Structure 1
Amino acid sequence: MRRVFGLCLLLWSVMATGATADPSFWKHEWPDTDFSNTSVANWVEIVSGGPPKDGIPALSDPQFVEVGQKEGIAPTEPVITVEIDGERPRAYPIRYLTWHEIVNDSIGDVPVAVTFCPLCNSALTFDRRVDGRVLTFGVSGKLRNSDMIMYDRETQSWWQQAVGMGIVGDMTGTRLKSLASWMESFAAFKDRNPNGLVMAEPEWQRPYGRNPYRNYDSSKRPFLYSGEMPPHGIPPLMRVIRVGDRAWPMDRLAREGDVTEDGVRILWQSGVNSALDSERIADGRDVGAVRVTDAAGRDLPHDVMFAFAFHAFWPNGRWMLGGT
């Protein structure tokens, strides 16, 4: 197969096999992390993704430009939108998060971490405050169930991105507060927020707008994942909308358009490129996007992740298939 991501991930896989999934090994790289304090029962679940600690450089205090002045991004490219009351809405283009995965920012008085794990398609925004302390997050280079393990620079603890919880170190068992954010097209953000701000291109030498995981979301199996496949015949790389421990398959939402059940309303709209399809994100196929609200119309924290990742982290989760 002629896949850009295939060559890249094959190299990472070879590198990963040389790392023993054992705390004694990780201690050499992480001398300040307390591995005796952990919720990890089986260390085989944790593997190296290839890049070392900070090999994927997280960003802090990014610059922003007026939405009307932003150039070089296609209207249908995906962005992560964060809207906090009293502050100007902000958009974080996936073309940048693909290469950095974490953005440490502050919106008004709220310190946030905007995160994106390409291998799980998981895009979550967290409040960085824990017991009055503001944490700064980096990319560990480790994966669990193919999901990014973050770390905080203050305690060197490890955090599972998909669940927003500390899994190794002083912060084990601590859960970050999830903030409502969503993925949508740049055009949708711009139309709704003419006074909005868009993250400026970082000053790193990266091929922004390119997708190093070409054709990944049409693969039959996820990368660096050996767990169970999802039930009900759902393809492992089908996008699902996770709210708490419930998952709505994206193909159902695309068919029905507007689903209200179990106290949640999910509105699907077309016109958003996949960031994990074509070599150029702007050429990715249309996978649509959703807005998730409660019965009062308030935005709900949620994730749009791959089905295999939902099943891995919520093995007893509820699959909202409709008609059952």
Structure 2
Amino acid sequence: MSRSTPAPRLTIAGGGWIVLVGMALIAALLVWAFAGVVQGRSRMGDGRDPASYGFDLDGLRVDRRSLSGSGQPRDVFLPLDSPEVVDGRDVFERNKEVRRKLAVNDDRVLGVVIGGEARAYPLRILNAHEVVNDEIAGEPVAVTYGGLCDSALVFRRTIAGSVRRFGVSGLLVDSNLVMYDLDAPTPSLWSQLGMRAISGPLAGTALEPVDGVSITTWAAWLAAHPGTTLALGDPRSKRRYDSISYSRYFLERSLRFPVLAPPDEQSLGRDGLHLKSPMVAIRLGDAWKIVSIESLVSLLGRQGRGGVRIDGSLVRAQVSADPAGAMIEDPQGRPLLTVPCLWFAWHAFHPGATPAAVTAESSKTPEP
């Protein structure tokens, strides 16, 4: 009788490492899957159906057809709270000390001045957060950026007697950012370009935008505001800052999410625009005026500065063509309420809008 063959033993050298790696991957997936539950941060939203995001949609103040999932769950973009800042004049030297430069000349930034205090937020950071809950000159503000619309607005966070903290809902209205108040027992949804709450206990409540918000280059902002500070990101989000970009999307002529009232092909041809033409809306008196960056560049040059008339009203503008950006002030150099965004986005929220006439400063003001 022959001796029985011993059962094979699984060793690291004999392929056991494959099993160990597999077990490690399974464990990592389980940790990832349950991390939100353990920490009380389970994400809601299937990326498509707005009802799956866990918000009260009864009494919705917008057409339900304009509301869509963003393809991402709720809170996939976490807000940046009270970021560290550095003096803008120190950025050049600080860039020598870090592997990823804080900001370089052609970087696009969202700039704002509040109470005489200027601050810039690099768009590569805003791409990954969309909302920054900050305080400038003692004023609690929400710095908001919607990448799909290239839209920038800064709102005061003191609403109905309390300071709100905003997060990213994962929902869109006409392809535009929808925020929510993070710390409210029953949150309201807030539309960025609609500038108001669209559902929840505060539905219909207006947001108060801050004057003087610009999207421009870091070089232009620093030159105009040498005392500015620059907001820094969260070190834990460095990979996201480098991986999230809308550059290719801006070159596409199509939209990825529902928009109920985009400009039609006839008007686009008439006005020499396309859906994603970079624009800036300006509040002049009681009316909004919307102008294309291209029309400003045609008068002032690719890196130009000077006076222009918008439907006859004189303003001061500083523009850049590539990357597109503009800073707009009144003739005395005071900030105006401005909203940088893409043409389709403004038209979606202002369906009757048409581009304003932009003429040289010396042009005669039209008779009323």
Tell me the TM-score range normalised by the shorter chain.
0.7 to 0.9
Q: Does 1:261 align with 2:310?
A: yes
User: Is the partner of 2:241 in helix, strand or coil?
Assistant: coil
Q: Deviations over 1:36-59 (max 9, x none)?
A: 33312x322211112211111111
> What is aligned with 1:124?
153
| Structure 1 residues without counterparts, runs of 5 or longer | 1-15, 272-285
Mark the structure with the bigger radius of gyration.
2
Q: Which amino acid aligns with 1:36?
A: D
Q: Say whether the 8 Å CA contact 2:250–2:276 is kept in structure 1.
A: yes
Deviations 1:76-109 (A, max 9, x none): 101111212243x211111100111110001122
- Structure 2 residue runs without a partner (length 5+): 1-44, 96-100, 301-306, 360-365
Partner of 1:91: 120
Between 1:138-147 and 1:183-192, the stretch displaced more is: 183-192
Map of 1:3 onto structure 2: none
Identity across matched positions, percent: 29
What does residue range 1-324 of structure 1 map to in structure 2 within 5 Å?
A: 19-21=48-50, 25-26=51-52, 29-30=53-54, 33-40=55-62, 42-70=63-91, 71=95, 72=101, 73-87=103-117, 89-153=118-182, 154=184, 155-180=186-211, 181-205=213-237, 206-230=239-263, 231-233=267-269, 234-244=273-283, 245-257=288-300, 258-262=307-311, 263=313, 265-270=315-320, 286-322=322-358
TM-score (norm 1): 0.81
Relative to structure 2, which stretch is displaced further, 137-146 or 201-210?
Answer: 201-210
Contact 1:157 1:167 in 2 (8 A): yes
- Return structure 1 stretches of 4+ with deviation > 6 angstroms: none
Asked if the contact 1:39–1:167 (Cα under 8 Å) also holds between the matched residues in 2, the reply is yes
**In the alignment, residue 112 of structure 1 is paired with which amino acid?**
V
- Tell me, yes or no, if the aligned pair for 2:289 and 2:310 is still in contact at 8 Å: no
Q: Which structure exhibits the higher relative contact order, with contacts defined as CA atoms closer than 8 Å and separated by 6 or more residues?
A: 1
CA distance in 1, matches of 2:334, 2:104: 29
Question: What is the rounded CA distance, in whole Å, between the counterparts of 1:188 and 1:123 in structure 2?
Answer: 17
Q: Distance in 2 between matches of 1:187 and 1:214?
A: 20
What RMSD in Å do the two structures reach over aligned CA positions?
2.3
Deviation at residue 228 of structure 1 after TM alignment = 3.8
The number of residue pairs the alignment matches comes to: 286
Separation (CA, whole Å) in 2 of partners of 1:268 and 1:192: 9
1:179-219 superposed Cα distances (whole Å, 9 cap, x missing partner): 12212211223333343211123122334244433421121
